Structure 1
Amino acid sequence: MPGQQTSLPIIDVSPLLITDSSASSQEETARQIHQACRDWGFFYVKNHGIPMKLQEELIDFSREFFAQPLENKMKIAMSKGGRAWRGYFPVGNELTSGKPDGKEGLYFGTEIDDDNHSKVLNKIPLHGRNQFPSIGKNDDEFRHVILTYMIAVENLGRLIMSGIARSLKLDVDFFDKNYFRNEPTCLFRIFNYPASFCQQQGNENLWGVGEHTDYGMLTILLQDDIGGLQVKTSKNEWIQAPSIANTFVCNIGDMLERMSGGYYRSTPHRVRNLSTTRDRLSFPFFLDPNWDAEVLPVPMEGVTDTNANDDDAEDRWDKTSVHTFHGTYGDYLLEKVSRVFPDLAQEQTIIGPNSY
């Protein structure tokens, strides 16, 4: 890690968005992504093309939803979402390392409103219709903002992954062809960290989310202005990742670490609401492999400075190596989700033993 740098890098990703950008500018962006993934596993992106108005609408509608009484929010409880696992959960219902998180949230995924979709017909978990809050001038207003935002961030994530492909000396469309296959697994969360949680006397877990790594490929995070996200450095020190206007925080997940054989590492992070008077909002979007894609190492012949370590179980927060997994991404995700929501997993009869 650079000796002088104590904050996460900010990368201008506009060369990846503009089709007629010069090859040299795209390569420079890929080089910066490479350095950020090697040094931190985290970086900010600016000039990303997501309209500020859309971000503000998402934040405003979310604040309005979470300000409602609990009984109103429970009208779209996750338990009512069936195997799609979509909807609202109250504070304490999601676990990290077996401990309840100090946050409430909304779960969304790719909207599948076609009951004849093969995965819906086959009752594959995490596929189906979303449950949308009735917030705004009409019932569809918040729904429209959420779906518009999800499409925009998915497109941004694909472009960032093209930069990551370049950084690994792969074809620019490598992840599109081999892992997304026109249908990546896209999961979107809206989290609220109540200020009241921080004020509870005798609360042994004041972290909104304890130390963890994300289990997918790429996370793209919008956060409000309160702050509280912390990233663990290679020296086992924690640094703040504060909100920076009109940027997103990106981090690589466990699956990209596995694909790269440990060359790029998923980095532990945690969250605490820094305010005792205001609730904190965050909006992580997870861009992950196709449900049926087998997770295999990517070709690394073009990378010359490898010193990867794939035997890292003892060093990881959960004492579990991501490099021992074999199977599809769907298999991997179901195993992880059942640990986060054990009761719901049991109700849904899912077999098998994320967050900001």
Structure 2
Amino acid sequence: MMQIVPTIDISSISNDDIKAIKEACIDHGFFKIKGHGLNTLIDKMWQQAETFFKASRPFKQSLRRPKDGAFGYFDSELTQHKRDIKEVFDYAPKAVPLFDDSSKPYWPDNKNNQLVINGLNDFQGTLNQFYIAQTKLAQQLMEILCQTLGEPPETLNKLFGDLQTSTARLNHYPSEDPIPENERDNNIALNDVALGAHTDPSAITLLLQDDIGGLQAYSAEHKWIDVTPEKYCFIINIGDIVQVWSNGRYKAAIHRVVKVPVGKARFSIPFFYMPQSEAVIKPIISGEKNKFREFLWSEYIKKRIADNYEKTGDKDMQVTDFMFKSRV
């Protein structure tokens, strides 16, 4: 019986694996991978993530993402205009001008012995090493996705390269609101789940989740399904622009995180693989009429994430906004 969310050993991909990924992308957009060779680095990342979020609130607030920046600590992210029950640390090894207009540094320094005091001596080094490893893995996965669409593996490589705009994140989902009551914005409602249902704008997301679980995907056939954790497995979900590249054959993965049980804490580590700023996004399927009009990645992503950080009142942009109207 085919697994609803298949686990694929990417050290030796078979034709059956290609078929399983294709079926998953048609139905819900999730699959898992093992055989990537990153287990030791994954252990180091879990240690860094847990240590960071256990640090004092003043320390984390000193790294708070500025209004005109995309990186650093944040505890007020919105999904569909409601605040999620989580705190995050966003980063990239180098500047990504598409997202970050701020010159404020977001990596913790050690001028007052902060890193040693908080147990984060190798924080930046470990996270950057992991980012580089995930970038290589993501390219391999995109080549596999091209194969599932019947296109040459290298079809999309030129849209990424050294100028790709990928970002990475550490997530902490506590069971209770991470913001003290006296600091909350009472004009913004709290989500009734830890993370509201959404799609990722990226090409693909590589996610590690701990053994607490809670991630759910929306399946066309089975409705909401659990994406259960497997040790050392990356969970892969396809994003908005894969829906375009596939000419609508694949649907961007709708997913959410349910509330964490009282007294527990959930950690996850996502990597969002994204093309270079000036990449033109359009279908790649040979011999078909395009169902989507082309658009620039930079224009789409800016509009897509505009209301993640503050309540704008505008309707969220969706990739389906770029579909051609039905033709008779």
> Is residue 255 from structure 1 mapped to residue 251 from structure 2 by the alignment?
no
Paired residue for 1:10?
A: 7
> Is residue 88 from structure 1 mapped to residue 65 from structure 2 by the alignment?
no
Pick closer, same or farther for the CA change 1:145–1:55 going to 2, 3 Å: same
3-state SS in 1 of match to 2:36: coil
Letter in 1 for 2:11: S
- 1:112-164 C-alpha deviation (Å, 9 max, x unpaired): 3xxxxxx75xxx43378862245458865110110011111111110011111
CA-atom RMSD, angstroms? 2.9
3-state SS in 1 of match to 2:52: helix
Paired residue for 2:171?
A: 191
Deviation for aligned residue 1:196 = 2.2
- 1:222-259 C-alpha deviation (Å, 9 max, x unpaired): 01111000111104621111211110110100111012
Paired residue for 1:234?
A: 220
Deviation for aligned residue 1:76 = 0.6
- 1:274-303 C-alpha deviation (Å, 9 max, x unpaired): 3211211111111011111011111333x9
Provide the aligned length of Structure 1 versus Structure 2: 298
What is the alpha-carbon distance in structure 2 between the residues aligned to residue 281 and residue 139 of structure 1? Answer: 17
3-state SS in 2 of match to 1:197: coil
Structure 1, unmatched stretches of 5+, are 17-24, 113-118, 311-322, 346-351
> Is residue 170 from structure 1 mapped to residue 170 from structure 2 by the alignment?
no
CA contact (8 A) 2:6 2:21 kept: no
CA contact (8 A) 2:41 2:130 kept: yes
CA contact (8 A) 2:52 2:120 kept: no
Deviation for aligned residue 1:33 = 2.2
CA contact (8 A) 1:136 1:142 kept: no
Structure 2, unmatched stretches of 5+, are 109-113, 181-188, 318-328
> Is residue 101 from structure 1 mapped to residue 95 from structure 2 by the alignment?
no
Pick closer, same or farther for the CA change 1:287–1:204 going to 2, 3 Å: closer
3-state SS in 2 of match to 1:36: helix
CA contact (8 A) 1:104 1:192 kept: yes
> Is residue 214 from structure 1 mapped to residue 200 from structure 2 by the alignment?
yes
Letter in 1 for 2:29: G
Letter in 2 for 1:60: Q
Scaled by the length of structure 1, the TM-score of the pair is 0.75
> Is residue 72 from structure 1 mapped to residue 54 from structure 2 by the alignment?
no
3-state SS in 2 of match to 1:64: helix
- Residue among 28, 31, 34 paired with 2:22: 34
Give % identity: 27
Letter in 2 for 1:186: S
What is the alpha-carbon distance in structure 2 between the residues aligned to residue 15 and residue 36 of structure 1? Answer: 19
Paired residue for 1:314?
A: none
Deviation for aligned residue 1:264 = 1.0
Q: Which has the higher contact order (CA 8 A, sep 6+)?
A: 2
3-state SS in 1 of match to 2:252: coil
What is the alpha-carbon distance in structure 2 between the residues aligned to residue 327 and residue 204 of structure 1? Answer: 34
Pick closer, same or farther for the CA change 1:127–1:152 going to 2, 3 Å: farther
What is the alpha-carbon distance in structure 2 between the residues aligned to residue 256 and residue 274 of structure 1? Answer: 30
- 1:289-332 C-alpha deviation (Å, 9 max, x unpaired): 1111011111333x9xx9x9x5xxxxxxxxxxxx46x4311111
Scaled by the length of structure 2, the TM-score of the pair is 0.81
Paired residue for 1:327?
A: 295
3-state SS in 2 of match to 1:59: helix
Letter in 2 for 1:102: I
What is the alpha-carbon distance in structure 1 between the residues aligned to residue 48 and residue 203 of structure 2? Answer: 28
3-state SS in 1 of match to 2:60: helix
Letter in 2 for 1:13: I
Deviation for aligned residue 1:39 = 2.9
Paired residue for 2:262?
A: 276
Pick closer, same or farther for the CA change 1:135–1:44 going to 2, 3 Å: farther
Pick closer, same or farther for the CA change 1:267–1:228 going to 2, 3 Å: same
Deviation for aligned residue 1:175 = 1.1
What is the alpha-carbon distance in structure 1 between the residues aligned to residue 102 and residue 250 of structure 2? Answer: 32
Paired residue for 1:348?
A: none
Letter in 1 for 2:207: L
Letter in 2 for 1:272: V
What is the alpha-carbon distance in structure 2 between the residues aligned to residue 335 and residue 75 of structure 1? Answer: 28
Deviation for aligned residue 1:72 = 1.2
3-state SS in 2 of match to 1:230: strand
What is the alpha-carbon distance in structure 2 between the residues aligned to residue 35 and residue 7 of structure 1? Answer: 9
- Residue among 276, 290, 293 paired with 1:290: 276
CA contact (8 A) 2:27 2:221 kept: no
Pick closer, same or farther for the CA change 1:277–1:286 going to 2, 3 Å: same
Paired residue for 1:49?
A: 37
CA contact (8 A) 2:247 2:285 kept: no
